[in-house]
Amino acid sequence: MNFFRLSHWNPSVFLVISTLAVLSGCAPDVAPQRESTPDVDRSLRTGEAQGLRVFGEIPAFSLTDQHGEPFDRSQLDGSIWVATFVFTRCGATCPYQTAAFTELQQTLQRADEWGKVQLVSFTVDPEFDTPEVLTEYGNKAGADFEHWHFLTGDRSSLWDLSKDGFKLDVQSGRDATNLIAHSSLFVLVDQDSKIRGYYEGLSPEANKKLLEDVRELLDQQDPTRRDRVTEVSVPRDVRDPKWLEPRARAQRALAPGYDVTCDFQFTDTLSASGITFKDNVVDDVKRDFKAAHYDHGSAVSVADVDQDGLLDLYFVCQLGSNQLWRNLGGGKFENITESAGVAVADEVSTGASFADVDNDGDADLYVTRVRAPNRLFLNDGTGVFEDVSEESGLDHVGHSSGAVFFDYDRDGLLDLLLTNVGEYTTQQRGPGGYYLAYKAAFTGHLFPERAEPNILFRNLGDARFENVNEKVGFDDVSWSGDATPIDGNDDGWPDIYLLSMQGHDQYFENQQGKGFVSKGLKLFPNSAWGSMGVKVFDFNRDSRLDLYVTDMHTDMVHDVEPENEKQKMTRNLPISMLATDGNHILGNAFYLKDGKDSYREVSDKIGAENYWPWGISVADLNADGFEDVFITASMNFDFRYGINSVLLNDHGKRFLDSEFILGVEPRAKGTAQLWMELDCDGADAKHRLCEGRSGKIHVWGAAGSRSSVVFDIENDGDLDIVTNDFGGTPMVLTSNLTDNHDVHALSVELVGTRSNRDGLGALVDVQVGEEHLISVHDGKSGYLSQSRMPMYVGLGDAAQADSVTVTWPSGIVQTLPGPIPSNQKLTIVEEGEIAE
């Protein structure tokens, strides 16, 4: 019998069982030897009208518990307890009484009140109900025997206790040989063994009152409880997942066998940094959790906004002010949001992209938002920004997401590809003024009227932009969160790989700046269905630029156990929901470039899979000449914890899982964060987490990152990582690589003259001996973000580069002859003639 599945909450069950109980006394063979009922007024049962009055006192008793150990009343002294009388062979009321006790146990456990309150089930069938039988019975009921006791003893003792102690109706004789006909009442007893209430065990209402009265007694016992805050973890082990440490140990044990530099550590230096930013998220993904695109979070980007040689940080959040933190050097930052004028505190922000849109040599900023005009800020060169959104033509209103600056027509001006998710919100506003999401936001892509076009804006000069979708034939309404330029056909013109978070990714071939042709299914016939992050880089140093795509939405469909995170999902959603040809990679995709317009998917072969991934940051974390990967991950409340991934590049052959080895995991701040506070006696009384709880509760949910950026915070020669964690505080993961190693690397800053000022789209080839370390300068790092920062090229053991060749978007190919000593910042100004 599964007591948990029995429901005594069904009124018809209550009526039928109550009737049976009355007719049969729950003991079919009972002899009609009715004893007189003690003189106790239980007419009110719960004493509701009289407060918690005292009905009598439980006398001392000595019985035997389910383990065969002696159990007497003194073991309950000081505890509040609830008693009932049952027997294991009973098929009438007892299963429902026991099921109600199981529920009560669970409710008390959830509220952290278990132990302060104990349960006692007395048998009325002592001859049959031996300790062994009671143990089995209790196990089936899911009883925690530490605080739920099943007691037996000699018949007369139990009879006396039932009738004289608990003052319950007893319809069988004291010396009879049949069962003791028992009551289905629950009896509440206080810490002084005083009876404080009777409750019909089969009545849902009475049991609710019982719980209230239990808590009233607990409050009387400890008045400070009234101000208590109960800690609730969702899921229960989220603050200490049992799988995490064994996994960490297993990974660390592999480190000695790694043929890559991995003997360095990242340390979270947030508190020392002075950064106090906290990501405030909307209630749709917090208090009133629903699966909606607000859970994609927001960006973190970097740029040297005041041109002091240090990279500054811009954090985006959903509610309240975005924040710009100026790098003071030495790992310290100060908040300059107000003076910079980039708070964007109204409405919900999502993405942030730094780029020099007016070619004046400083970092301008574009902020995307949800159903509010996107904002373009021009920098005056000192870190003070002017809002030129309206006149720029970039004040698009939609459900905007990632924005990517690149020069599609190679005219020397940065154009903009703006991705828009699609209409996932209703007309109603929630707390803080955000638009409430549809309850079924993730079917949005099945409603054509909810689609929003992704838009290509051409830069006309003077920070004026024009939507050229029609002019260039860029026609796409994918539910997209990000995109990247990529030169698939090696013709020097940037093509577009556009992510679809709910469908096939798209690829648009650039027709030499004059138009675009869709070739997605031809080049990438089986893309990931739920694409989220993307980065182009040369994985295996074959001088071809490969493509890495993370897939988040596929991972949302089914739970994956921690030990299976490196495997693909075994199935996706039904085809009706996919709304595609169903030909998808069920997880991350890694396309190794074989040649012009030719890619080979190798994600499983090289270990590129992970779980719940968002954005990708690619950088040479150990400066060995092969670019590594940091992937933000985890889904936050109410899912289990998920780790961020660090994939060290094993000489272009495969990725090595290294997040635990390098100290990135477990997060120093813990696997969970305080997600929300609920007032179960007040405004949140109807919240599902307040069911069975009272007072204030603090709900803990999993920590999770969304966006990240990898750069050298302190200019000490190694790369650090900063994240924007969803609904939480960021991580400032500072590397100590240069403390332990003689690192050889070059920092390369490009200054375009004929090309766009930032040199975005330039190919940089650092030659070291026979090796060509190719990188594309695209500013991409992390989800929803674009940063303006120098390129970092690790040289491995080489103390110098033999040459650096830049292929500019203008077509100019410029070579700096070597030797070029490592550990310096090269500023390369575009010059020369365009090569044929």
Partner 1 sequence: MAANLRSTFAVAAALIAAGVAFSIGWRGLREEPALTHLDVKVVGLDYHLYFHYPGTDAVLGTSDDRLGSRNFFAPANASVDLNLTSRDFVYLVEIPEVGLYEVAAPGLEFKTRIETGDSGVHSLLGSQMCGYDHPELIGDFVVQRSADFRRTVRKLSPAPLPANRTQ
Note the Cα 733 to chain centre separation in Å: 19
Shortest distance, CB of residue 802 to partner 1, whole angstroms? 52
Comparing CB distances to partner 1, the nearer of 554 and 723 is 554
Strands across the sheet containing 332-335:
300-303, 312-315, 323-329, 332-335
Shortest distance, CB of residue 129 to partner 1, whole angstroms? 30
Shortest distance, CB of residue 199 to partner 1, whole angstroms? 25
The binding track of 690-709 with respect to partner 1, each residue x by CB under 8 A or -, is --------------------
C-alpha–C-alpha distance, residues 589 and 584, integer Å: 10
Comparing CB distances to partner 1, the nearer of 410 and 553 is 553
Q: Are the C-beta atoms of 611 and 247 separated by less than 8 Å?
A: no
Note the Cα 191 to chain centre separation in Å: 43
Applying CB under 8 A, which part among 87-95, 316-324, 438-446, 739-747 lies near partner 1? Answer: 438-446
Instruction: Tell which one of 89, 252, 439, 596 touches partner 1 (CB under 8 A).
Output: 439
Instruction: Tell which one of 253, 446, 799, 829 touches partner 1 (CB under 8 A).
Output: 446
Shortest distance, CB of residue 200 to partner 1, whole angstroms? 25
**Sites for partner 1 among residues 130-189 (CB under 8 A):** none
Q: Are the C-beta atoms of 558 and 571 separated by less than 8 Å?
A: yes
Comparing CB distances to partner 1, the nearer of 4 and 145 is 4
Helices (H), 191-243: 204-221
Comparing CB distances to partner 1, the nearer of 442 and 465 is 442
**Sites for partner 1 among residues 562-581 (CB under 8 A):** 571, 573-574, 576-577
C-alpha–C-alpha distance, residues 569 and 400, integer Å: 29
CA distances from 226 to 218, 315, 680, 681 (A): 9, 39, 12, 10
Shortest distance, CB of residue 218 to partner 1, whole angstroms? 28
C-alpha–C-alpha distance, residues 34 and 180, integer Å: 11
Comparing CB distances to partner 1, the nearer of 604 and 638 is 638
**Sites for partner 1 among residues 234-293 (CB under 8 A):** 289-291
Instruction: Tell which one of 343, 397, 460, 556 touches partner 1 (CB under 8 A).
Output: 556
C-alpha–C-alpha distance, residues 237 and 31, integer Å: 52
Applying CB under 8 A, which part among 106-114, 441-449, 463-471, 711-719 lies near partner 1? Answer: 441-449
Shortest distance, CB of residue 469 to partner 1, whole angstroms? 28
Shortest distance, CB of residue 527 to partner 1, whole angstroms? 21
Comparing CB distances to partner 1, the nearer of 410 and 450 is 450
- CA neighbor of 90 nearest in space, from 240, 202, 215, 232: 202
Shortest distance, CB of residue 291 to partner 1, whole angstroms? 3
Applying CB under 8 A, which part among 440-448, 641-649, 724-732, 737-745 lies near partner 1? Answer: 440-448
Applying CB under 8 A, which part among 186-194, 413-421, 436-444, 771-779 lies near partner 1? Answer: 436-444
* CA R_g for the chain: 34
Cβ atoms < 10 Å from Cβ of 515? 14
Comparing CB distances to partner 1, the nearer of 290 and 566 is 290
Shortest distance, CB of residue 608 to partner 1, whole angstroms? 24
Q: Are the C-beta atoms of 634 and 612 separated by less than 8 Å?
A: yes
Comparing CB distances to partner 1, the nearer of 229 and 440 is 440
Comparing CB distances to partner 1, the nearer of 144 and 638 is 638
The binding track of 392-431 with respect to partner 1, each residue x by CB under 8 A or -, is ----------------------------------------
**Sites for partner 1 among residues 715-744 (CB under 8 A):** none
**Sites for partner 1 among residues 618-677 (CB under 8 A):** 638
Per-position DSSP letters for 314-351, written without gaps between them: EE--SSS--EEEEEEETTEEEE-HHHHT----SSEEEE
Applying CB under 8 A, which part among 25-33, 416-424, 434-442, 813-821 lies near partner 1? Answer: 434-442
Comparing CB distances to partner 1, the nearer of 442 and 591 is 442
Shortest distance, CB of residue 165 to partner 1, whole angstroms? 38
Comparing CB distances to partner 1, the nearer of 95 and 444 is 444
Both tokens assigned to 510: 């650039």
Comparing CB distances to partner 1, the nearer of 439 and 825 is 439
Which DSSP letter does residue 74 get?
Answer: G
C-alpha–C-alpha distance, residues 551 and 614, integer Å: 7
Instruction: Count the site residues for partner 1 by CB under 8 A.
Output: 18
Shortest distance, CB of residue 371 to partner 1, whole angstroms? 20
Is the backbone peptide bond immediately before 494 cis, with ω within 30 degrees of 0? no
Applying CB under 8 A, which part among 104-112, 184-192, 437-445, 476-484 lies near partner 1? Answer: 437-445
Comparing CB distances to partner 1, the nearer of 571 and 605 is 571
Q: Residue 451, interface with partner 1 (CB under 8 A)? A: no
Comparing CB distances to partner 1, the nearer of 9 and 258 is 9
**Sites for partner 1 among residues 302-361 (CB under 8 A):** none
Shortest distance, CB of residue 349 to partner 1, whole angstroms? 23
Comparing CB distances to partner 1, the nearer of 2 and 271 is 2
Residues in contact with 252: Cβ distance below 8 Å, sequence separation at least 6, in sequence order: 660, 661
How many helices (H) and strands (E) the chain has is answered by: 14, 49
Instruction: Tell which one of 53, 429, 688, 825 touches partner 1 (CB under 8 A).
Output: 688
Shortest distance, CB of residue 404 to partner 1, whole angstroms? 27
Q: Are the C-beta atoms of 477 and 489 separated by less than 8 Å?
A: no
CA distances from 98 to 121, 125, 181, 376 (A): 8, 15, 17, 65
Which DSSP letter does residue 207 get?
Answer: H
Residue bearing tokens 């995109």? 483
Q: Are the C-beta atoms of 176 and 34 separated by less than 8 Å?
A: no
Shortest distance, CB of residue 49 to partner 1, whole angstroms? 35
3-state secondary structure 419-472: EECCCCEEEEECCCCCEEECCCHHHHHHCHHHCCCCEEEEEEECCEEEECHHHH
C-alpha–C-alpha distance, residues 804 and 205, integer Å: 79
**What SS3 class is residue 101?**
helix
Residues in contact with 395: Cβ distance below 8 Å, sequence separation at least 6, in sequence order: 373, 374, 375, 376, 389
Shortest distance, CB of residue 476 to partner 1, whole angstroms? 23
Shortest distance, CB of residue 563 to partner 1, whole angstroms? 21
Instruction: Return the amino acid letter for 427.
Output: Q
Q: Binding residues for partner 1, per CB under 8 A?
A: 289-291, 439-440, 442-443, 446-447, 556-557, 571, 573-574, 576-577, 638, 688
